[in-house]
Amino acid sequence: MINESVLNTIVDNAIKEDIGDGDHSSQSCIPDTAIGKMQLLAKEDGVLAGVEIGEHIFRRFDPNIKIETFIKDGAVIKPGDVVLTVEGKVLDLLKAERLVLNMMQRMSGIATNTRKYVTELEGLHTRILDTRKTTPGLREIEKLAVKIGGGVNHRIGLYDMVMLKDNHIDFAGGIEKAVAKVKQYLKEKNKDLKIEVEVRDFDELNQVLAIEGVQRVMLDNFTPADTKKAVELINGRLETESSGGITFETIRAYAECGVDYISVGALTHHIKSLDLSLKAL
């Protein structure tokens, strides 16, 4: 689950965005004292995600709201499945409705997409990684959905891992200089962060292998044949990650080369939300 303070910030910002100075559609025709009940229904096959987030949103409006949950995060759902029922003030239910659906539909879409990739690599040790290609302000939510779908979170942001990509390396004057500067910086700042270096060819890979202090190497836009050669050359000395130009159709071929991770930006930025609905009972 996400840190509660972070989650509250995300939810409160979404509430302000949607409700503004009031839900005038509901307030104009529903008595303030009216009590009602709704059920959350699946309308499409997929992997459910965001149940705990949905519960949190409902309780943000009313801490004492009654929620009965029947299906948990990570479960495979089909049309007609009842995920949960919620009972409380109708005005609160209607205010929460779209926010709950927006969060859960997108999260379930991400989890469903992630599970598809994870299933494709069944039997292999390669894990699926997400990226920073996320919706601004919703990264923690979307990365949680990746985990629910069976994927692995890469770094959350620029602050929790050092990742030297081509532009860093070119601006710093090469791999050796870039890594040396990073190591000195981490020492001065008293930070214990993993270092990953992106390489574009075997010359750069050999440079990384000659340097101490790097934990992971990213093989960028390597072919499957070159990936296999690179994994054999690395021989377990570093964690390995493949990235760039890898599609669902080719991902198993890369995994069969023995890489530890494959990063897939499409997990979070090429997403169709899963169809869910909240209906009055």
Active site residues: 98, 133, 165, 198, 220
Helix (H) or strand (E) holding 39: strand 35-42
Cα–Cα distance for residue pair 104/52, rounded to 1 Å:
9
Nearest-5° angle of CA 113, CA 263, CA 6? 75
Nearest-5° angle of CA 23, CA 63, CA 105? 60
Cα–Cα separations (whole angstroms), residue 202 to 206, 208, 219, 229: 6, 10, 9, 9
In the three-class reduction of DSSP (H, G, I as helix; E, B as strand; rest coil), residue 258 is classed as coil
Q: Which residues contact 204 (CB under 8 A, 6 or more apart)?
A: 169, 175
Cα–Cα distance for residue pair 163/198, rounded to 1 Å:
8
CB 37 within 8 A of CB 86: yes
Within 79-201, residue ranges assigned H as helices are: 90-120, 139-148, 166-172, 175-189
Select from 119, 140, 73 the least CA-distant residue to 248: 119
CB 73 within 8 A of CB 51: yes
